[in-house]
Amino acid sequence: MLIKSLVIKKDYLTTVNEHATLEEALKVLESSGYRCVPILDDSGKIFRGNIYKMHIYRHKSQGGDMSLPVTYLLKNATKTIKINAPFFQVFFTIKDLPYIAVLDTDNTFYGILTHARLLDMLSSAWNIKTGAYVLTVLSTNDSGNLTKMTKIIAKFVNLAGAMTLDAPASEFDGKYVRRTLFTLPQGTTETELKAICKKLKAKGFPVVAVEDLAAGMNIMSEEKPGVFLNEE
């Protein structure tokens, strides 16, 4: 249901009929300002693929026939996800696409999920508007580590957000396999921040980066993880 809440429904989209010519499709793209739009069948229910402005321009510049059907330059016909698909599947499918077509349970076109909406959702995990600092904390794959880290932080402040990512083995010599980003709430003092970092390190969870959200900068030394810039 998370995907469904992010989708822009087809009723609000600019689309092109599969029988339109390349010339007609180009007019739609130029008037809308979009770099690509979905191609749908006559019923408006079946997603055929996408048509890109750049592909039409290239075709036209090479003297191509602009009366050909838009499907002649159709792309991404298989780049779709179901409305009830697991969220991680989006990342394997969307990649370099400006959006991914979303189908309902009957395989009819429901709408699109754009990169912009996906990034907005991900950025909300940082709670930037209500956060003060974001800590990047390393951990091993031992059971219960996330609980241990959150309990340490909760002794000082209430968490505003959290996100866990894999840690590149080459970067941390294979010892640490997780990077967890914790957002501390507005009002967190520098004293509380340093106490949290010190306690996490003492329990085997090194803090390798601290971003000051208000300043928009990392305030921990990249050369000396765990050391704040004003302490160097």
Q: Please report, for the domain that includes residue 186, its CATH number.
A: 3.30.70.260
Could you give the strand order of the β-sheet that contains 16-17, starting from the edge strand earlier in sequence?
16-17, 36-40, 47-52
**Of the candidate ranges 52-56, 205-209, 210-214, 220-224, the one whose mean pLDDT is the lowest:** 220-224
> Do 108 and 204 fall into the same domain?
no
The pLDDT value recorded for residue 47 is 98
> Do 13 and 75 fall into the same domain?
yes
Residue 226, helix vs strand vs coil: coil
Q: Which domain holds residue 67?
A: 2-121
The pLDDT value recorded for residue 215 is 81
Q: How much of the chain exceeds pLDDT 70, in percent? A: 90
The whole-model pTM stands at 0.69
> Do 98 and 195 fall into the same domain?
no
The whole-number average pLDDT for the span 22-27 is 98
> Do 165 and 77 fall into the same domain?
no
Mean per-residue pLDDT of the chain: 88
> Do 195 and 221 fall into the same domain?
yes
Q: Of the segments 10-19, 96-105, 118-127, 179-188, which one has the largest average pLDDT value?
A: 10-19
Report the C-alpha gap between 122 and 120 in whole angstroms: 5
| pLDDT band, residue 56 (cuts 50/70/90) | very high
> Do 92 and 140 fall into the same domain?
no
* Domains: count for the chain: 2
> Do 79 and 97 fall into the same domain?
yes
> Do 198 and 103 fall into the same domain?
no
Cβ density class 120-147: b for 16+ within 10 Å, e for less = ebeeeebbbeebbbbbbbbbeeeeebee
> Do 6 and 109 fall into the same domain?
yes
> Do 117 and 130 fall into the same domain?
no
| pLDDT band, residue 121 (cuts 50/70/90) | confident
Q: Residues near 67 by Cβ (< 8 Å), separated by ≥ 6?
A: 21, 22, 23
Domain end, chosen from 121, 138, 157, is at 121
Token duo for residue 208: 């390798």
> Do 136 and 60 fall into the same domain?
no
